[in-house]
Copies of this chain bind each other. A is one copy, B any other.
């Protein structure tokens, strides 16, 4: 246990995570004040480390860039990127990122851009939900060529099950909070995905596009392994 971290008092930046897990530390921006976020990003900037921030508001992004942090921002997904000029090692293979509807795109983009930030290649298939199954079947041959599939869907969340029965690659199902009434903030989609009768479907937290992206990359990395 010789790993190290940078202790800022209010945060302990886990700079050895890459050694342990192959991933850099990520910053969950939603629960931090602008000044806390600034100090964290400045520290990573000084260390020339690439870092990703999730669930970041435009206000926080503007606050940190005004203070000199060279970050980029994607408004759709709420991701903030500080690459510090580091180019990630390219991952082999392709991830297909699909959504049930248009309203699921912010979470899908959180997954897709996380994958790209980590060196993966993404193809997007948006609005292919089960209410119009032919849209999905029309794209099926393309999707089947992907090496891992992310399926983000709200409301009843059936996209994951349907895809799971049609493809060979692992499917990562992301329930989204899109819906109303008895969707209960994404609970309906979450339960659908957990109870999928198709095999080999993996589920992450509601609206956790970032987690789906990381998992997709972990799976893509398998391809390069000599076993």
Chain A: residues with CB nearer than 8 A to chain B? Answer: 1, 3, 5, 9-12, 14, 16-17, 20-23, 25-26, 28, 30-32, 36, 55, 92-93, 100-105, 124, 126-135, 137-138, 147-148, 154-158, 161-162, 164-170, 172, 175, 177-208, 210-211, 214-215, 217-225, 227
Does A132 lie within 8 Å of B165, measured CB to CB?
yes
Could you say which of A9, A28, A92 has the most chain B C-beta atoms within 10 Å of its C-beta? A28
Q: List 18 A-B contacts (CB under 8 A).
A: A1-B134, A1-B137, A3-B132, A3-B134, A12-B135, A16-B132, A21-B199, A130-B158, A133-B165, A156-B192, A157-B195, A179-B195, A180-B206, A181-B206, A181-B208, A199-B210, A200-B218, A203-B203
Work out how many copies of this chain go into the complex: 8
Return chain B residues, CB-CB under 8 Å to A179.
195
Does B180 lie within 8 Å of A184, measured CB to CB?
no
Q: How far is the CB of A206 from chain B (nearest CB, A)?
A: 3
Tell me the complex Cα distance, A205–B221, Å.
Answer: 25
Return chain B residues, CB-CB under 8 Å to A205.
180-183, 194-195
Does B156 lie within 8 Å of A161, measured CB to CB?
yes
Not counting A31-B154, A101-B197, a sample of 18 additional A-B residue pairs whose C-beta atoms are within 8 angstroms of each other reads: A14-B134, A14-B135, A21-B164, A21-B166, A21-B200, A30-B180, A55-B180, A130-B197, A131-B161, A156-B158, A175-B181, A181-B205, A182-B194, A182-B206, A202-B203, A222-B222, A223-B227, A224-B227
